[in-house]
Each structure stands twice: as structure tokens, then as C-alpha cells.
């Protein structure tokens, strides 16, 4: 997919994989709506991406993806600032930081809300927007190798990511020129570098000069 002049919405955009994706898309001529709960880093990234550009290429919207009205605001911003949306990256995610039996605060529920429920809502909103435009587009849901292979240390995170994988695969033959894909990163995604491989459902693509993953 050629991304020049395309408009992308990215959640979890202020750091890690989301930030790397935003930087990559802008470098290829796309425009981005940056959604993240972290206002400070989100605004900083938007300023960095816009620096030296003749026109605005990035706009930040503070977004708690568990608040569905805030997710909807990302699509409103895309239309207001750039007139369209072509790519939706449902990337925001967290993992539990304690064994399940010690989780008296119910953090596991937040993991499901952010890592699975918000992805479902983001996909719903994305399909709705793309169908209205009638020009097709791409939805990218961030899964994980933990969604392909169980992870004893983070069982709830693993369950959520398994859910993302199954949910995304259900759209394999969706039609309307809308593709719903998932990526399953390995390693520490907070330190995304070119040597990390990205596992795309159905095949694994090494991030080297000879192989490039297509959206």
C-alpha cells in the first residue's frame, strides 16, 4: 500500500510501536492523527513530526481508548484536519504487572478493556468510516506473539491478544476493499528498532533491507 497523502489514525502513538509507526508513515508522505492518553509526549511527537514541514502532517488528540467517545473523536479530528482517513492502527496496549492471584485492584479488567475491547471498538469505528468513504482502507490491530503462544507470566495479556488474533482473522474476507490485518510483535516493543522482526498473521517478515511487510 502506498501511503503518500494517506491519513492514519494511531492509538498508543506517543511511544514504542505507535511512535515508530507514526514516524515511518510521515517519512513516507502520510499524515497522522496521534491518539494517546499521555498528552505531554503526544504533543511533543506531533511537534517533532510537524517541524520543518510546509503544512501540518500530525495532530495530537488525547485519548483514553476505554472511553469510546474519545476514540470517536480521533475520527472527527481526521476529517476536520485532513479530510479523510485511510489507515487505522489500533495499537494502544498494556500488560498486567503482578500475578493474577495478587491482583486485588482488578488490573486484569483494564488489560482486557484496553487490549481487546478497545481494539474491537476501534475496528468498528474504522469500518464505519471507511465504508462511508467508499474508497477502501486498512485497519491494523496490534496483537503479540503472546497472542499466538501462551505466556504464563502474563496470562490476561495473552488472553487479550489471542482475542485480537481471532477477532482480526474473522475479517479475512470482509470485502469493500477494506483489509483488517494484525501484527504480532516480539521482544520489547518500547524499544522498536529495525532489527526486530514483525510477525504478520500467516507469515513472518524480517525487518531487513530485502524483505518489507506490506500493509
Question: What is the spatial distance between Cα 209 and Cα 93, in angstroms, rounded to a whole number?
Answer: 28
In this structure, is residue 152 part of a structural domain? Answer: yes
For the residues 171-181, what does the mean pLDDT come to?
Answer: 93
Q: Determine contact, residues 39/11, Cβ cutoff 8 Å.
A: no
What is the model's pLDDT at position 211?
40
Cell of 80: 476536520
* Each residue's pLDDT tens digit, 156-171: 999 999 999 999 999 9
Burial call 37-50: b when 16+ CB within 10 Å, e when fewer: bbeebbeebbeebe
Q: Please indicate whether residue 191 or residue 22 has the higher confidence score (pLDDT).
A: 22
In this structure, is residue 212 part of a structural domain? Answer: no
CATH code for the domain of 50: 3.40.50.720
In this structure, is residue 35 part of a structural domain? Answer: yes
* Each residue's pLDDT tens digit, 30-86: 999 999 999 999 999 999 999 999 999 999 999 999 999 999 999 999 999 999 999
The residues that are catalytic are 157
In this structure, is residue 215 part of a structural domain? Answer: no
Question: What is the spatial distance between Cα 13 and Cα 66, in angstroms, rounded to a whole number?
Answer: 15
Please report which confidence band the pLDDT of residue 191 belongs to, taking 50, 70 and 90 as the band edges: very low
Instruction: Please state whether beta strands 178-185 and 198-200 pair in parallel, antiparallel, or not at all (unpaired).
Output: antiparallel
What total of structural domains would you count in the chain? Answer: 1
116: containing domain: 7-205
Amino acid at each position: 500500500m502506498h501511503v503518500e497523502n494517506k491519513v492514519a489514525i494511531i492509538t498508543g502513538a506517543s511511544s514504542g510501536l505507535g511512535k515508530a509507526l507514526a514516524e515511518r508513515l510521515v517519512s513516507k508522505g502520510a499524515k497522522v492523527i496521534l491518539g494517546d492518553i499521555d498528552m505531554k509526549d503526544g504533543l511533543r511527537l506531533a511537534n517533532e513530526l510537524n517541524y520543518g514541514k510546509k503544512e501540518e502532517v500530525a495532530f495530537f488528540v488525547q485519548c483514553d481508548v476505554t472511553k469510546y467517545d474519545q476514540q470517536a473523536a480521533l475520527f472527527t479530528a481526521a476529517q476536520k484536519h485532513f479530510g479523510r482517513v485511510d489507515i487505522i492502527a489500533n495499537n494502544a496496549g498494556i500488560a498486567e504487572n503482578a500475578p493474577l492471584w495478587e491482583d486485588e485492584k482488578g488490573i486484569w479488567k483494564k488489560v482486557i478493556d484496553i487490549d481487546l475491547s478497545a481494539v474491537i471498538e476501534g475496528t468498528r469505528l474504522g469500518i464505519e468510516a471507511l465504508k462511508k468513504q467508499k474508497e477502501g482502507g486498512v485497519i491494523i490491530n496490534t496483537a503479540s506473539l503472546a497472542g499466538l503462544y501462551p505466556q504464563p507470566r502474563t496470562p490476561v495479556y495473552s488472553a487479550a491478544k489471542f482475542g485480537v488474533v481471532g477477532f482480526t482473522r474473522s475479517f479475512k474476507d470482509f470485502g469493500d476493499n477494506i483489509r483488517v490485518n494484525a501484527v504480532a510483535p516480539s521482544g520489547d516493543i518500547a524499544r522498536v528498532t529495525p532489527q526486530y522482526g514483525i510477525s504478520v498473521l500467516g507469515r513472518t517478515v524480517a525487518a531487513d533491507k530485502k524483505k518489507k511487510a506490506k500493509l
